[in-house]
Amino acid sequence: MQHQLSKQDTLFKYLAIVPLFTLLLALAMYPLFSLGRMSFSSVSIVQGDIGSKWVGLVNYRNIFKDPIFFQAFGHTLIYVAVSVILELSLGLFFSLLVFSLKRGTLVFRTILLMPFLIPPVVNGTIWKLILNAQFGLLNKLLNQAGLPAQSILSQERTALFGIMIVTVWQWVGYNMLILYAGLQTLPKSVIEAATIDGASRKRMLFQITIPLIKPVLFVALVFRMIHAFKGFDLFYVLTGGGPGYSTEIINTYIQKVFMIQQRMGYGSAISILTIILILILFFVFQAIMERRSAK
Amino acid sequence: MITRKALCIALLIAAAISPLFAGGSQETAETSEPTSVVVCINESPWLPAFRDIAKQYAEETGVIIDIRAFPFATMSERGLYAATSSESEFDVITMNESMAAKFYHDGLVAPIKQIQPGYVLDKEVMTYDGLNYWDQELKYPALSGELYSFPVNGNIQLFYYRKDLYDAAGLSKPETWDDVVNAAKVIADPASNFYGYAVRGQKGHMALGWDFYPYLRGFGGDIFADAPKDFTVTMDTPEALAALSFYADLAHNYAPPGSSSIGQSEQIAMLAGGQLLQTIVVAGANAQMDDPKMSVVPGAIAYTVVPRPVGGVHASHTGVLSMGIPDNIDAARKKRAFDFLVWFTSQSVQQTFAEHGGVPIRTDAMNTKGEDSLRFLTAIQESADATVAYPRIAAWPRIDEVIESRLSEVVAGITSPAEALALMQIEITDIVADEGLL
């Protein structure tokens, strides 16, 4: 039986959310609003005071004359797409592997999860030392094997790929954990029925397991995409955006424009446009996924 | 209803945390005059020397120097955040050469006359082409302006080379770049992981471009026609092309593979690790070369003025760090910071600073006292007439980004020197026009 709220209770319900709503407005909406306002201004710090002058759409027009912005945005999309696909594929592989083990799952899970628990800056530093062309561990091993030395982070063709490898290494355990949790919820009866019917492993994987854990896969995919779009630490530590602009992503570029160059108006415009573009991408992605699952 | 157990736990917690509050109020009462100076500084080869000196100040005065060290690239950001907030967490902010102008121009550090009217730096303190002064009319750091900061580490570029190997090969101290290339050809053995040269190829903030600048100036080129009077960009000249072509040749033919990931720390590590014959490094790295804990070749490295091209001039980029006092702190904090900086720049302290591996900023603190460990001071004195500096303009970080990116493309073999210079010409011109400097 549904309980009818009195007028007083209804009022209290709305009053109760006022503190949270106020906090949300103060902490999230105000900075966003402030960023938006700055994006239409020329902002400078003079004599210790922040001064801003309304310039209309000038900052936004300048974005379209800035090839580095588009290059950085393109790198961001490649980075997110490739890293997330690789991470999920490997995460699925390892989760199935751990799920199939009869003993030692805790040990494997812990080992796979360890890179995720290390702070990204530390991860970046570890890999910078491994991949260092002059005295890195990788080249020492290659030398011992009689293979030519590699300078992955120093070359335009491979630098972004190198960062993706480190990202995958860092996040594969996280994906494994989420997917492993999904595997544990699979109805045993369905698996047993398929086994009795003599379904091959491949068929079991593609026609039973993956379809059944699709909601979990989708959650992992969205979470990781959101995280990957926030990528910064590894790029900052490993390459600083170089060589040239070959590993410049939108976040490293915003940091440079905003913090190093102190072009706050332009930096705000880039930030706002990036937020809009990413939101559009997410809505389109979500719509596609929903349409596919409806089918 | 509150149970007896819950009441006991609450009382225990209250008893446990009460000293925190009591202590806090007591401390506030006793330390109404805080006795520390909080310094924002960068992690660098001279930081250990600064720490030693800071301890000495605490022993002499009772005022503790609270050192907050950040990586070089983030030091400026931290300083800017602090100086633009309502009240700076730091009493002293370390500024590199390119950022100093921004701090002065934006009024983020206090003019020294505001703290101590009539104060002037000792005449023995080096002027570094007016780095510590701000001329409001010129909108440029110049001796004609007012004092805004103190130089604290007189870093300049020196040429580091393996004297033991030069001597064994019968070669004399390198004077020209031809001498350097010849030594690389004669002595280096890349097959044994021993390289003839290493340029800084890693993109950063005042990293790769800072390394390249003495080549550019040595070959007769420059970024601008006559800064601060004329900001016409001059990167498309034959002199600049000669300089960058030579730089690319060093990177591609004499340096280790993966030059694009070599920064100053890698150069220092390779020198001290016995993997490198020679390169340009800041004077402040000298202490690591002779320390047996850090170097496998202690005493083997000699220092000299940066070589010149045949027919060209010696040029050594200054990398002087200055300390300013943020304007957004109260007068008492400003005075304490000022007292420390005056003490730090005094003759006896600077001599001690040099003896601990720092690079002194006074001409009368360069006494080597006949000690081999201070031989780098002689090289600094020899370089006195060769020092050059980037234009110190507030827009420099924008220009720096272009130079760093385009040079790193050359080192990585992505673009040719001519293409990179043509791009820099266009992009830097756009920036100076946008900043109203043309």
Domains and CATH numbers, chain B: 33-155+320-378 (3.40.190.10), 157-317+395-434 (3.40.190.10)
Q: Which of B327, B401, B404 sits opposite A261 (nearest CB)?
A: B401
Contact A134 B258 (CB under 8 A): yes
Contact B354, B52 (CB under 8 A): no
Q: What is the pLDDT of residues B24-71, one digit of tens each?
A: 333 333 444 558 999 999 988 789 899 999 999 999 999 999 999 998
Diameter of chain B measured on Cα atoms: 93
| A51 and chain B in contact, CB less than 8 A | no
Q: Quick check: is A173 in a domain?
A: yes
Taking contacts as CB-CB distances below 8 angstroms, the residues of chain B near A239 are 203, 261
What pLDDT was estimated at residue B232?
97
**Nearest residue of A to residue B205 by CA position?**
A260
Contact A244 B412 (CB under 8 A): yes
Contact A204, B221 (CB under 8 A): no
| A71 and chain B in contact, CB less than 8 A | no
Taking contacts as CB-CB distances below 8 angstroms, the residues of chain A near B85 are none
B377–chain A nearest CA distance, Å: 30
A114–chain B nearest CA distance, Å: 26
What pLDDT was estimated at residue A51?
79
> Is the pLDDT at B156 greater than 50, yes or no?
yes
Taking contacts as CB-CB distances below 8 angstroms, the residues of chain A near B416 are none
Contact B408 A242 (CB under 8 A): yes
Contact B215, B404 (CB under 8 A): no
> Is the pLDDT at A54 greater than 70, yes or no?
yes
Q: What are the φ and ψ backbone dihedral angles of B68, each rounded to 5 degrees?
A: -115, 100
Q: Quote the Cα angle for B32-B36-B41, to 5°.
A: 145
Q: What is the pLDDT of residues B217-251, one digit of tens each?
A: 999 999 999 988 899 999 999 999 999 999 999 99
Q: Which of B76, B257, B397 sits opposite A151 (nearest CB)?
A: B257
Same domain? For A54 and A130 the reply is: no
Taking contacts as CB-CB distances below 8 angstroms, the residues of chain A near B273 are 135
pLDDT-derived band at B200 (thresholds 50, 70, 90) equals very high
Q: Quick check: is A1 in a domain?
A: no
What pLDDT was estimated at residue B71?
82
Number of domains making up chain A? 2
Taking contacts as CB-CB distances below 8 angstroms, the residues of chain B near A133 are 256-258, 261-262
Contact B260 A155 (CB under 8 A): yes
Mean pLDDT score, B290-309? 95
Same domain? For A106 and A224 the reply is: yes
Contact B261 A44 (CB under 8 A): no
Contact B204 A245 (CB under 8 A): no
Taking contacts as CB-CB distances below 8 angstroms, the residues of chain A near B270 are 134-135
| A153 and chain B in contact, CB less than 8 A | yes
Interface subset of A 98-137, CB within 8 angstroms of B: 131-135
| A242 and chain B in contact, CB less than 8 A | yes
Q: Please state which of the ranges A16-20, A24-28, B290-294, B352-356 shows the lowest mean pLDDT.
A: A24-28
Comparing CA positions, the residue from A166, A155, A158 lying closest to residue A228 is A166
Taking contacts as CB-CB distances below 8 angstroms, the residues of chain A near B398 are 261, 263
The arrangement of strands across the sheet holding B157-162 comes to: B278-282, B157-162, B301-304
Strand partners, B38: B66
Q: Which of A159, A243, A260 sits opposite B411 (nearest CB)?
A: A243
Encoded tokens for A85: 């696909």
What pLDDT was estimated at residue B393?
86
> Is the pLDDT at A84 greater than 60, yes or no?
yes
Q: What is the pLDDT of residues B85-111, one digit of tens each?
A: 889 999 999 998 888 988 998 889 999
| A47 and chain B in contact, CB less than 8 A | yes
Enter the DSSP assignment of B205: S
Q: What is the pLDDT of residues B120-154, one digit of tens each?
A: 999 999 888 899 999 988 889 999 999 999 999 99
**Nearest residue of A to residue B74 by CA position?**
A260
Same domain? For A24 and A143 the reply is: no
Is residue A3 exposed (0-12), middle (13-18) or buried (19+ Cβ within 10 Å)? exposed
Q: What is the pLDDT of residues A212-229, one digit of tens each?
A: 999 899 989 999 999 999
B72–chain A nearest CA distance, Å: 12
Q: Quick check: is A277 in a domain?
A: yes
Taking contacts as CB-CB distances below 8 angstroms, the residues of chain B near A261 are 397-398, 401
Contact B257 A44 (CB under 8 A): no
Mean pLDDT score, A272-293? 88
What pLDDT was estimated at residue A102?
83
| A149 and chain B in contact, CB less than 8 A | yes
Same domain? For A178 and A240 the reply is: yes
CA dihedral B88, B89, B90, B93 (to 10 degrees): -50
Mean pLDDT score, A62-91? 95
Q: Quick check: is A2 in a domain?
A: no
CA atoms A196, A200, A205, A208: torsion sign: negative
What pLDDT was estimated at residue B31?
45
Strand partners, B316: B387
Same domain? For A112 and A191 the reply is: yes
Taking contacts as CB-CB distances below 8 angstroms, the residues of chain B near A240 are 73, 202-204
What pLDDT was estimated at residue B27?
38
What pLDDT was estimated at residue B1?
44
Same domain? For A19 and A149 the reply is: no
Element (H, E) at B387: strand B387-388
CA dihedral B148, B152, B157, B163 (to 10 degrees): 170
Residue A77's CB: how many other CB atoms inside 10 A?
A: 15
Percent of residues, chain B, with pLDDT higher than 90:
67
SS3 B303: strand
Same domain? For A144 and A278 the reply is: yes
Same domain? For A158 and A243 the reply is: yes
Range of the domain at A44: 7-59
Q: What is the pLDDT of residues A9-34, one digit of tens each?
A: 888 888 888 998 888 888 888 889 99
Q: What is the pLDDT of residues A253-272, one digit of tens each?
A: 999 998 888 888 999 999 99
Interatomic CA distance for residues B83 and B339, integer angstroms = 20
**Nearest residue of A to residue B396 by CA position?**
A261
Distance of CA A265 to the CA centre of its chain: 26
Is residue B204 exposed (0-12), middle (13-18) or buried (19+ Cβ within 10 Å)? buried
Mean pLDDT score, B199-216? 92
Interatomic CA distance for residues B262 and A189, integer angstroms = 59
Could you give the C-alpha distances from B50 to A56, B42, B78, B81, B365, in angstroms and in order?
48, 11, 19, 23, 15
> Is the pLDDT at B275 greater than 50, yes or no?
yes
What pLDDT was estimated at residue B18?
43
> Is the pLDDT at B116 greater than 80, yes or no?
yes
**Which stretches of chain B sit within 8 Å of chain A by CB?**
73, 76-77, 80, 83-84, 102, 105-108, 201-205, 256-262, 266, 269-270, 273, 275, 327-328, 397-398, 401, 404-406, 408-409, 411-412, 414-415
> Is the pLDDT at B13 greater than 80, yes or no?
no
A244–chain B nearest CA distance, Å: 4
CB-facing half-sphere around the CA of B12: CA atoms within 13 A: 6
Q: Which of A44, A156, A262 sits opposite B412 (nearest CB)?
A: A156
Mean pLDDT score, B371-388? 89
Query: Average pLDDT, whole number, for chain B?
Result: 89
Comparing CA positions, the residue from A255, A268, A249, A278 lying closest to residue A60 is A268
Taking contacts as CB-CB distances below 8 angstroms, the residues of chain A near B84 are 45, 48, 50
Q: Quick check: is A85 in a domain?
A: yes
For testing contact with chain A, the best of B260, B265, B402, B416 (most A CBs within 10 A) = B260
Contact B76 A260 (CB under 8 A): yes
Same domain? For A17 and A120 the reply is: no
What pLDDT was estimated at residue B20?
41
Three-state secondary structure of chain A: CCCCCCHHHHHHHHHHHHHHHHHHHHHHHHHHHHHHHHCCEEEEEECCEEEEEECCCHHHHHHCCCHHHHHHHHHHHHHHHHHHHHHHHHHHHHHHHHHHCCCCHHHHHHHHHHHHHCCHHHHHHHHHHHHCCCCCHHHHHHHHCCCCCCCHHHCCCCHHHHHHHHHHHHHHHHHHHHHHHHHHCCCHHHHHHHHHCCCCHHHHHHHHHHHHCHHHHHHHHHHHHHHHHCCCHHHHHHCCCCCCCCCCCHHHHHHHHHHHCCCHHHHHHHHHHHHHHHHHHHHHHHHHHHHHHHC
Contact A261 B397 (CB under 8 A): yes
Mean pLDDT score, A198-219? 89
Same domain? For A79 and A36 the reply is: no
Same domain? For A185 and A269 the reply is: yes
Q: What is the CATH number of the domain that holds A250?
A: 1.10.3720.10
Is residue B331 exposed (0-12), middle (13-18) or buried (19+ Cβ within 10 Å)? exposed
Interatomic CA distance for residues B163 and B270, integer angstroms = 15
| A207 and chain B in contact, CB less than 8 A | no
Tell me the count of A-B CB pairs closer than 8 A: 111
Contacts of B270 (CB under 8 A, 6+ apart): A134, A135, B195, B198, B256, B276, B279
Contacts of B107 (CB under 8 A, 6+ apart): A46, A47, A48, B327
Same domain? For A126 and A24 the reply is: no
pLDDT-derived band at B2 (thresholds 50, 70, 90) equals very low
> Is the pLDDT at B23 greater than 60, yes or no?
no
Contact B235, B421 (CB under 8 A): yes
pLDDT-derived band at B22 (thresholds 50, 70, 90) equals very low
